[in-house]
Amino acid sequence: MTSADHQATHDVVKHSERHEGPQKHIIVFVLSIVLTAIAFAAVAAGGVNAAFTVLLLLVMAVIQVLVQMGYWMHLKDRGHMMPIIFMLGGFFVAGTAIVTALYWVWW
Amino acid sequence: MAHAHSVKRHKGLMDWLTTVDHKKIAILYLLAGGLFFGIGGIEAVLIRLQLIKPMNDFVSAQTFNELITMHGTTMIFLGVMPVIFALMNAVIPLQIGARDVAFPFLNSLGFWTFLFGGLLLNLSWIMGGAPDAGWTSYTPLSTTTYSTTHGVDFYTVGLQIAGLGTLIGGINFLATIITMRAPGMSFMRMPMFTWTSFITSAMILFAFPAITVGLVLLSFDRILGANFFEVSNGGNPILWQHIFWIFGHPEVYILILPAFGVISEVIPTFARKRLFGYSSMVFATILIAFLGFMVWAHHMFTTGLGPVANALFSIATMLIAVPTGIKIFNWLFTMWGGQIRFTSPNLFAIGFIPTFVMGGVTGVMLASAPADFQFHDTYFVVAHFHYVIVGGLVSGLLAGLHYWWPKMFGRMLNETLGKLSFWFFIIGFHLTFFVQHFLGLMGMQRRVFTYLPNQGFDTLNMVSTIGAILMGIGILFFLINAIATAFKPKGVAADPWEDGRTLEWAIPSPPPEYNFKQTPLVRGIDALWKEKMAGNKGMTPAEPLGPIHMPSPTILPFVMSVGIFIAGLGFMFSKEDFSNSFMSLIFNNWIVVIIGLLITFGSMLLRSLYDDHGWHIEVEELEEEGVKA
Amino acid sequence: MSATHAETVDGKLPHEPEKATLEGRNKVLSFWLFLGGEAVLFGTLFATFLALRNQTNEGPTANELFHFSTTAYATLILLVSSLTSVFAVQAMHRHKVTALRVWLMITVLLGLGFLGLEIYEFTDYVTAEKFGMTTSAFSSAFYTLVGFHGAHVAFGVLWISILIGQLFKKGLTVVTAPKVYVSAMYWHFIDVVWVFIFTVVYLLGKVG
């Protein structure tokens, strides 16, 4: 095999790898639907311990957001170091604002 | 050349309105900053004249409230921010070996948006009264119940627009520093000014959206009748304080970090030594930025957050002294054993260190929650924040301006005038604010428009006012220096201080519009100094000489900012009762807002539809200039 | 930098045309930075809402107002639109301009559907439930948070529509590709914010 051939096969392999199909994204979509359905169902069912419901809802939301940002917004891909740092920074400051609103606004 | 596009070159005023060159935008920022700094300075002098003696009636109480509000707001948002951006624009692309910022168009947009926001805010003086609720604009004082003029509306809308410009600038510099560094310029080889500006830009990115929301809430309360801070309808005024300080505390670090960067450039240059503890400097900067977001509630100890919160924020605040101390010692160790030259930039830099330490010490005192119940809202606080912001930040900026002036304008500032301005400034500064510590400890409240005689306040206030005037003279000397220098011929050397260490000193002063003829190859910290020590004449190029692509000048950023300005005015007066039926037709039906937004979004659309192909500077042109130089 | 404005790089469009030029890469990176700022913006709005969620001032409460069905439809619409914009970017990576345009059009239509639903919902609250901006601190916080999100959707619809027009006129180039990619990021982010809105505002409002 000449090096040019090798290069060509390599390209083809890389090509098919990079042109990922829709499967992954459909899985993410289905997962999102399921997580959303669980959240809605937990609230609609009622009667369950309220604190548990709140926790469940938040966990469902966070998982859904992480999966969507990782796959749909490609944050899990290589070369996304800076985006991840800056999104974490944003979420961190947003988090402090939310904690403040919950604990330090009313007394 | 296949890519040769003809491009319209503007001259005179149009050149300045349409420029996307970071070096020209730096000068625009400097002019705007100078204008607002001047306005804020006049306000400061008026405040001090009112307080020169007890029971003075130089200005009325209402005017005094407007003066203190506008002095604080103008200085923080419109005075020092643009000067910081001026230095960042003038220096950062040069320090990282780039031909321009990542987004020249956005750079221009950021400036014009900032300028029109600042102009809108200052229009309040001639349009029915300036904001009068303090620069913090605490609710309920700033709600329509207690602040009945349009002053606070000018505050919310003006700051909103100016803040948008700042945010745009911040994102632009983040992207520039992340992606536009020359080959070899790794993060840990970046000059300290670039590092601190990078961190400052990141803080702008995370802090300004919070105030955006805060200002939206306040303007909705005032204009649309919302109830965020309206206690009678379920609102909560403490929420404003939290949102304001979640932005506000990072904001003061946004201001000071670039000054730290300037000091870290000036001191090594004039000590002829590399910066002591470079990596600890970087680490300290990042730590200060992180802690800066964790301490906002120390402004609110007296609101009654409770012992747990007060203790937490107290300790977090005191922690900041650690990375700041690292920086102070690093500067001292840099000077230790160096061949120090006391040039005017270096005087400002050396003056910065003890002054800033004093401000830091009172900061730690204020961080102690129980003591803060005594200090709160007294002149002790006023003294503290002026020590860090004026004695610290403004000294740093003046050091930076004196240092980079030859690079920006191609002319050296006069050293004698520079030294005069330093001595007047630093002596005046300490006279003004040192005594205010004692005024505060003796119980003089801040923001009072006058005081009774014989409480021990009289002499100290007189001293403070005299100091303010001396400080004003110092600034005047700088102004005279700048104007006089403008009439001197251009033509300083590329490295006029002769001990330049970083890349900006490797290219002519002022630099050509493409900065670097060939992108330089960076081989270490203090890239130029490294080449000098290796006996090389200049930087090794990292690329062959080739045509340089340049962005086209454009008027669109200016037009977009005018649109936002119009929309802002329209929003402010949308619920106003006009006697003129035409005015009420266009304002009360949101027509003015719609026109403004159409102008802005229309320009945005034009920008999107018509690609900017830019233009090229050809090799022959570059070579020709090479011959001339 | 000389090739940055060429229609294609080396005569053919690369696999990820949005990252083919420095301008393109800068655009994608800075949009991420911008989204970091947007996270703080919405975080502060959420904080405001959470602080004031029970301050109903004797007006309607969250539990009385919200209907499962409207929220569920809105959520489904936005989630599907996020998926269609993923497909748009995938089509772009395969250089299938027609498919790209179709997926973007579907995204825009879904966005319009979401907006219609929101306008219907708000109108219902204002007219039938007497729940306006000025009713209570809760109402102000609700309209501001959800309204800001709605305004983002509206802007996204306009933006993507204009991009579709550009794709007809200019085709897929290294100039238009980053715009498409960035608009898709924006659209996903809107969906991410909505996940928190339906959880924190609507569902937790029902829990009480």
- Which DSSP string do the residues of B181-246 spell out, in sequence order? PPTT--GGGS-HHHHHHHHHHHHHHHHHHHHHHHHHHHHIIIII---SS-GGGT--HHHHHHHHHH
Question: Which residue, chain included where needed, has tokens 């991840």?
Answer: A84
Q: Chain C interface, mutation test: which of B171, B201, B219, most C Cβ atoms within 10 Å?
A: B171
Which residues, 6+ apart, have CB-to-CB distance to A38 below 8 Å? Answer: A56, A60
Torsion of CA B102, B108, B112, B115, to 10 degrees: 70
Closest partner CB to C40 (pick from B210, B234, B236): B210
Alpha-carbon span B547 to B540, nearest angstrom: 18
pLDDT of residue B6: 56
Q: Does residue C11 have a pLDDT over 60?
A: no
Q: Are residues A97 and A68 in the same domain?
A: no
Confirm whether B111 is domain-assigned: yes
Which tens digits make up the pLDDT trace of B452-461? 999 999 999 9
Q: What is the pLDDT of residue B337?
A: 94
- Find chains touching chain A: ≥3 CB pairs under 8 Å: B, C
User: At how many degrees (to 10) do helices C22-52 and C137-170 cross?
Assistant: 160
Amino acid at position B68, single letter = I
pLDDT at C16 over 70: yes
What's the topology of domain C67-208?
Answer: Four Helix Bundle (Hemerythrin (Met), subunit A) (1.20.120)
Q: What is the pLDDT of residue B3?
A: 45
Residue B522 lies in a domain: yes
Q: What would the pLDDT profile of A54-97 be if each residue is shown by its tens digit?
A: 999 999 999 999 999 999 999 998 889 999 999 999 999 999 99
Residue in C47, C48, C138 nearest the CB of B234? C138
pLDDT digits (tens, 9 = 90+) for B402-419: 999 999 999 999 999 999
pLDDT at A15 over 70: no
Which amino acid, residue B305? L
Lowest mean pLDDT among B278-292, B355-369, B602-616: B602-616
Query: pLDDT tier at B621 (50, 70, 90 boundaries)?
Result: confident
Read off the pLDDT of residues A30-51 as tens digits, 9 standing for 90 and up. Answer: 999 999 999 999 998 877 788 8
What pairs with residue B378 in β-bridges? B445
Residues forming a β-bridge with C9: C12
Q: Both A89 and A68 in a single domain?
A: no
Q: Name beta bridge partners: B541.
A: B520
The DSSP code for C8 is S
User: Tell me, what DSSP letter sits at residue B382?
Assistant: H
From B23, B46, B157, B172, select the one nearest B99 (Cα to Cα): B23
Using DSSP bridges, classify how beta strands B615-617 and B548-550 pair: parallel, antiparallel or unpaired.
Answer: antiparallel
pLDDT at A1: 36
Task: Categorize the per-residue pLDDT at B281 as very low, low, confident or very high, splitting at 50, 70 and 90.
Answer: very high
Residue B445 three-state SS: strand
pLDDT tens-digit readout, B113-153: 999 999 999 999 999 889 999 999 999 999 999 999 999 99
Query: Which residues neighbour C183 within 8 Å (Cβ) at sequence distance 6 or greater?
Result: C85, C156, C159, C160, C163
**B209 is written with which tokens?**
């959206």
pLDDT confidence of residue A22: 85
CB-based contacts of A73, cutoff 8 Å, min separation 6 = C185, C188, C189
Q: Which chains neighbour B (Cβ–Cβ under 8 Å, 3 or more pairs)?
A: A, C
What is the chain C residue with the closest CA to B222?
Answer: C134
Q: How many residues does chain C have?
A: 208
Check if the beta carbon of residue C52 is closer than 8 Å to that of residue C138. yes
- pLDDT the model gives residue B7: 61
> Which residues on chain A are in Cβ contact (under 8 Å) with C15?
15, 18-19
Three-state secondary-structure class, residue C29: helix
* CB contact (8 A) between residue C207 and residue A54: yes
| Inside any domain, residue A3 | no
Same domain for A50 and A60: yes
**Structure tokens that stand for B11 in this block:** 């001259």
CA distance B359 to chain C (A): 30
Residues B567-589 have pLDDT tens digits of: 999 999 998 888 889 999 999 99
In a domain, B343, yes or no: yes
| Local structure of residue B275 (DSSP, 8 states) | P
Residues of C with CB under 8 A from a CB of B: 1-2, 4-6, 22, 25-26, 29-30, 33-34, 36-38, 40-41, 44-45, 47-48, 51-52, 55-57, 133-141, 143-144, 162, 166, 170, 175, 179
pLDDT band at residue A16 using 50, 70 and 90 as cut-offs: very low
Separation of alpha carbons A30 and B44, rounded Å: 62
pLDDT at B537: 87
Q: Can you name the residues that pair with B549 across neighbouring β-strands? A: B616
| pLDDT over 80 at A18, yes or no | no
Q: Name the minimum distance, in Å, from the CA of B206 to any CA of chain A.
A: 6
With beta carbons under 8 A apart, name residues in chain A contacting B295.
none
Per DSSP, the three-state class of A19 is: coil
B7 contact C CB<8A: no
The verdict on a CB contact (< 8 Å) between A93 and B206 is yes
Q: What percent of chain B has pLDDT over 70?
A: 98
What type of residue sits at position B470? L
Considering the domain architecture, whether residues A26 and A60 belong to the same structural domain is answered as: yes
Q: Report the CATH number that the domain containing residue B224 is assigned in CATH.
A: 1.20.210.10
Alpha carbon of A23: minimum distance to chain B alpha carbons (Å): 33
Chains in contact with C via at least 3 Cβ–Cβ pairs below 8 Å: A, B
- Indicate whether B574 belongs to any domain: no
* Percent of chain A's residues with pLDDT above 90: 62
Q: Please count the structural domains in chain A.
A: 2
pLDDT, tens digit, 9 for 90 and up, residues C87-120: 999 999 999 999 999 999 999 999 999 999 999 9
> Does residue A13 fall inside a structural domain?
no
Tokens of B364: 């730690």
A84 in a structural domain: yes
Residue of C nearest to A83 (CA): C32
What is the pLDDT at residue A45? 85
Cβ distance of C136 and B233 shorter than 8 Å? yes
Mean pLDDT of the residues in chain B: 94
**Does residue A34 lie in a domain region?**
yes
Q: Which residues of A touch B236 (CB under 8 A)?
A: 105-106
pLDDT exceeds cutoff 80 at B300? yes
| Cβ neighbours of residue A10 closer than 8 Å, sequence gap 6 or more | none
DSSP label of A105: S
- What separation, in Å, do the N-terminal and C-terminal C-alpha atoms of chain B show? 25
Distance CA B606, CA B626 (A): 38
pLDDT at B477: 97
Q: Please say if the pLDDT value at position B180 is more than 60.
A: yes
| Bond into B496 cis (ω within 30) | no
Chain C residue closest to A91 (CA)? C39
The alpha-carbon gap from B485 to the nearest alpha carbon of chain C, in Å, equals 37
A83–C32 C-beta distance less than 8 A: yes
Total domains, chain B: 1
The residue type of B211 is: I
Cβ atoms of B355 and B426 within 8 Å: the answer is: yes
In a domain, B617, yes or no: yes
Q: Is residue A31 part of a domain?
A: yes
Q: What is the dihedral of CA B190, B192, B269, B345, to 10 degrees?
A: 140
Q: State whether A67 and A101 are in the same domain.
A: no
Position B623 confidence tier, pLDDT thresholds 50, 70, 90: confident
A5 is a domain residue: no
Mean pLDDT of chain C: 92
Residues of C within 8 A of B514 (CB-CB) are none
How far C141 CA sits from the closest chain A CA (Å)? 13
Query: Which of B48-62, B179-193, B445-459, B602-616 has the least mean pLDDT?
Result: B602-616
Q: Which member of B205, B242, B304 has the closest CB to residue A107? A: B304
Q: Contact C93/A69, CB-based, under 8 Å?
A: no
Q: Does B297 touch chain A (CB under 8 A)?
A: yes
User: What pLDDT does residue C7 have?
Assistant: 43
CB distance B242–A93 less than 8 Å?
no
Please, which residues have CB within 8 angstroms of residue B113's CB and are 6 or more apart in sequence?
A: B161, B162, B164, B165, B168, B557, B560, B561, B564
Shortest CA gap B239–chain A (Å): 6
Q: Is residue B491 pLDDT above 90, yes or no?
A: no
A69 and A30 in one domain? Answer: yes
- Domain holding A101, by residue range, is 77-107
Span B521-531, pLDDT tens digits: 999 999 999 99
pLDDT of residue B449: 95
How far is B227 from chain C, CA to nearest CA, in Å? 5
Instruction: Give the pLDDT confidence of B205-262 residue by residue, as tens digits.
Output: 999 999 999 999 999 999 999 999 999 999 999 999 999 999 999 999 999 999 999 9
Q: Would you place residue B614 in the very low, low, confident or very high pLDDT band (cuts 50, 70, 90)?
A: confident
Please state the pTM of the whole predicted model.
0.94
Residue B609: which of C29, C38, C166 has the nearest Cβ?
C166
Q: What pLDDT digit, counting tens, does each position of C17-35 carry?
A: 888 899 999 999 999 999 9
Cβ-nearest to C5 among B3, B172, B210: B3
Contact criterion met (CB below 8 Å) for B415 and B433: no
Assess whether pLDDT exceeds 50 at residue A10: no
Q: What is the per-residue burial (b if ≥16 Cβ within 10 Å, else e) of B116-129?
A: bbbbbbbbbeebeb
Domain boundaries, chain C: 67-208
From C57, C36, C48, C72, select the one nearest C145 (Cα to Cα). Answer: C48
CB contact under 8 A, B202 and A106: no
Q: Structural domain of residue B485, as residue ranges?
A: 12-554+612-628
Residues of A in contact with B294 (CB under 8 A): 96
| Higher-scoring residue by pLDDT: B89, C207 | B89
Tens-place pLDDT, residues B55-77: 999 999 999 999 999 999 999 99
Domain assignment of residue B370, yes or no:
yes
Q: For residue A49, is it within any domain?
A: yes
Q: Are residues A25 and A71 in the same domain?
A: yes
C47-56, pLDDT tens digit by residue?
999 999 999 9
* Any domain includes B568: no
Query: Which residue, B613, A72, B98, B176, is CA-closest to C175?
Result: B613
C139: Cα separation from own chain's centroid: 22
Which residue stretches of B74-150 are H helix?
81-95, 104-123
